[in-house]
């Protein structure tokens, strides 16, 4: 057999991915889940206008490699110019490009221990050295993150606002004030995937051309287009232009571009979806309370539930829910791993969750 000549870095990496998909679990189980409440997808779906736009797209053509009309629409939506915006294959894809631009072997990067793992996956893939700090009161803590960045001379520091997996958030004003302690030469990677579902005042209001920050947003959550993989970044034009050196120029398919543009134009539908998400949050919280558990406040399209014990007990609850056909996930680092995380769902999804939870808790306690 011909020797596979991987780079030393690639050879050193574990054969893993950040997430095991529900489809993989369904194949292992030999049957589908009754309720898919673990991936923070928007079960209420995209705007009918977006669906029509995607269906009517000429799929025989490559997508516009500049995503020109979508970037123009996003610029108008955010009151800026297209040179402040980069479009990519979801925030995950854009994080990969960003890390490729900034991180080489040994370069320091800072994140919170237990925060979104895909960022860490990219840092490892380019040989960066990842430094982690703990959450503070179930929040990613800017002061702790920025202090560690100064200590290790980090090139990037990652912060999600609102946070996944806890659903916690900071006000934009508090985050702007914290920026005073961001070290010179460190770029804040601000993941705002859930900002559309967050309270007013959560978004950071600093100018988009502030060279200290890049902001990432997505059509996967509130806009209901997770399968289309459309994300975008906003930052200083010099930083945005650097993405064109490394990005996949035909990575954005034509249907996804058209769907995202149509979804952005249908803010009325978005408002309806946000009402459904808020109603679902309340239902999940009540189900938790009815079973003696504690729902945490959430600014995202999920609710994180404190199971009242340790990570082993929460994992047992999760396993019992999965065994009963309810796909959920949980934080993976203590003390956040005392919780399980439930994505907003339809009434039938939540009815299935409500029916399964008492038995899951009883079995976990016996175990």
- End-to-end Cα distance, the chain: 48
292-346 tens-digit pLDDT: 999 999 999 999 999 999 999 999 999 999 999 999 999 999 999 999 999 999 9
Query: How high is the pLDDT of residue 3?
Result: 79
Round to whole Å and give the CA distance between 203 and 3.
50
Taking CA atoms, 12 is separated from 15, 42, 101, 123, 319, in Å, by 9, 36, 21, 13, 31
Q: Looking at residue 4, what is its pLDDT?
A: 87
CATH numbers and ranges of domains, the chain: 8-44+268-366 (3.90.1150.10), 59-266 (3.40.640.10)
Give per-residue pLDDT as tens, 22-46.
Answer: 999 999 999 999 999 999 999 999 9
Q: Show the tokens assigned to 44.
A: 């209420």
pLDDT of residue 104: 97
pLDDT over 90 percentage in the chain:
96
What is residue 222's predicted lDDT score, i.e. its pLDDT? 98
pLDDT in tens, 210-229: 999 999 999 999 999 999 99
pLDDT in the model for residue 8: 93
Q: What is the mean pLDDT of the chain?
A: 96
Q: What percent of the chain has pLDDT over 70?
A: 99
- What is the pTM (predicted TM-score) of this model? 0.96
pLDDT of residue 20: 85
Residues 6+ apart with CB under 8 A from 221: 40, 42, 193, 194, 196, 197, 300, 301
| Segments of the chain assigned E as strands | 35-36, 85-88, 108-112, 129-133, 156-160, 187-191, 213-218, 231-235, 294-295, 302-306, 326-327, 339-343
Q: Which two tokens stand for residue 307?
A: 């199971």
Local confidence band at 2 (pLDDT 50, 70, 90 cut-offs): low
202 pLDDT higher than 70:
yes
């Amino acid at each position: 057999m011909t020797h596979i000549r991987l780079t030393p870095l690639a050879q050193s990496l574990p054969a893993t991915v950040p997430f095991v998909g529900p489809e993989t679990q369904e194949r292992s189980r030999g049957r589908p889940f009754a309720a898919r409440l673990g991936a923070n997808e928007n079960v209420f779906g995209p705007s009918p206008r977006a669906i029509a736009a995607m269906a009517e797209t000429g799929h025989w053509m490559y997508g516009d490699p500049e995503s020109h009309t979508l970037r123009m629409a996003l610029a108008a939506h955010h009151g800026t110019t297209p040179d402040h915006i980069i479009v990519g294959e979801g925030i995950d894809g854009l994080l990969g490009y960003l890390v490729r631009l900034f991180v080489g072997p040994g370069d320091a990067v800072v994140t919170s221990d237990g925060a979104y793992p895909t960022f860490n996956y990219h840092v490892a893939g380019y040989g960066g050295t990842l430094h982690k700090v703990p959450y503070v009161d179930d929040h990613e803590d800017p002061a702790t993150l920025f202090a560690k960045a100064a200590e290790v001379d980090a090139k990037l520091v990652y912060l999600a606002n609102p946070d996944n997996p806890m659903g916690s958030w900071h006000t934009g004003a508090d985050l702007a004030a914290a920026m005073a302690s961001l070290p010179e030469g460190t770029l804040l990677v601000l993941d705002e995937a859930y900002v559309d579902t967050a309270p007013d005042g959560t978004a950071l209001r600093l100018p988009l051309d502030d060279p200290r920050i890049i902001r990432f947003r997505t059509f996967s959550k509130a806009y209901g287009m997770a399968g289309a993989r459309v994300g975008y970044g906003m930052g200083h034009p010099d930083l945005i232009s650097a993405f064109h050196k490394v990005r996949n120029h035909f990575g954005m398919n034509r249907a996804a571009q058209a769907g995202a543009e149509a979804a952005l134009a249908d803010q009325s539908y978005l408002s309806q979806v946000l009402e459904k998400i808020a109603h679902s949050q309340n239902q999940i919280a009540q189900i938790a309370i009815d079973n003696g558990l504690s729902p945490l406040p959430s600014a995202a399209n999920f609710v994180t539930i404190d199971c009242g014990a340790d990570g082993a007990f929460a994992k047992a609850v999760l396993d019992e829910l999965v065994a009963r056909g309810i796909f959920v996930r949980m934080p993976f680092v203590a003390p956040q791993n005392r919780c399980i995380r439930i994505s907003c769902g339809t009434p039938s999804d939540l009815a299935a969750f409500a029916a399964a939870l008492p038995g899951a808790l009883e079995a976990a306690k016996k175990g």
